[in-house]
Amino acid sequence: MKRFAVLAVSLAAVAGLVGCGGGGGDDVVGSPSGPSAEGYYAGTLRVTAFPATAGNPALPNTSNAFQMLVLESGEFWTFYGTPSGASLQVEGFAQGTGTSNGALFTAGGVRYFPAPPALATNAVASASYNASARSISGTITDASTTATFNSVPLVAPAYSYTAAASLASVAGVWTVDGSGGEQYTLTVAGDGTFAAVPAPAPGCSFTGNFVPRASGKNVFNVSVTNGGAPCSAPALVSTGVAFVSPAGAGFQLTFATVGDNRNLGAVISGVR
């Protein structure tokens, strides 16, 4: 499984902040002032061994690209993986809630989900952003790795965070993959309800629904209910976010959810 040092936690951690454990809390840090970091970012990622030194090579089998949503609430979802043509082969995600101060976005209580169950990761980060240029860059360090991330300018046709989410963009049939390589046929009705069946069977089926967020931004709230056996967590209900982005001549659907205690999470993506 490819690895990513989780994108976030407070700079206060440099002075000895203890990160999340167990279920993890949404420890919001900093003082909000100036333009928010709300929006969408994408770019490159380079993971090296900690401590970082000049000339450190990138670690093998690590992700090298990211996409990040920062919502109006300060909640963020960072998807990481490897580019595949015009799409991103998603390999995991990180989720938490943070605070913008006009130039710096910081967050605590972050959870990192390379594969279920969640692995709580203590990390420190310094991430600067430019709200008008829609750029973000910085470093994230945990006990064994340092990740350097840099957003790049979006190239048309590009995902528009400020557009309204449309159920028509998700309706229909998708072939999607989980971060562990499992594949599903996902059928989405016009009202946003969906059902996913493993292809090929057997596997863990699930149902759920997509609902445009009340913010009017181009993001859906998503709820997922696992089926019965052989799901590792039968009947688990999890919630999260989804978005649809241009991918060459097609579109990519990406969504991730976490359980109530944030111990379990999953990410799904596919192009059509």
Q: What amino acid occupies position 107?
A: A
Going along the chain from its start, the domains and CATH numbers come out as: 11-151 (no CATH), 167-271 (2.40.128.10)
Residue with tokens 């992700």: 63
- Residue ranges in the chain modelled with pLDDT below 70: 1-33, 52, 115-125, 141
Calpha distance 46→149 (Å, rounded): 7
Calpha distance 68→48 (Å, rounded): 20
Q: Which tokens belong to 31?
A: 């003082």
The predicted structure's pLDDT at residue 270: 97
23-82 pLDDT tens trace: 333 343 444 568 999 999 999 988 888 776 777 888 888 889 999 999 999 999 999 899
The predicted structure's pLDDT at residue 117: 54
Calpha distance 207→201 (Å, rounded): 16
The predicted structure's pLDDT at residue 214: 97
In degrees to the nearest 10, what's the CA dihedral of 45, 62, 157, 169?
-130
DSSP 20: -
The predicted structure's pLDDT at residue 14: 24
Give the sign of the dihedral formed by CA 111, CA 114, CA 117, CA 119: negative
Note if the bond before 51 is cis, omega within 30 degrees.
yes
The predicted structure's pLDDT at residue 27: 40
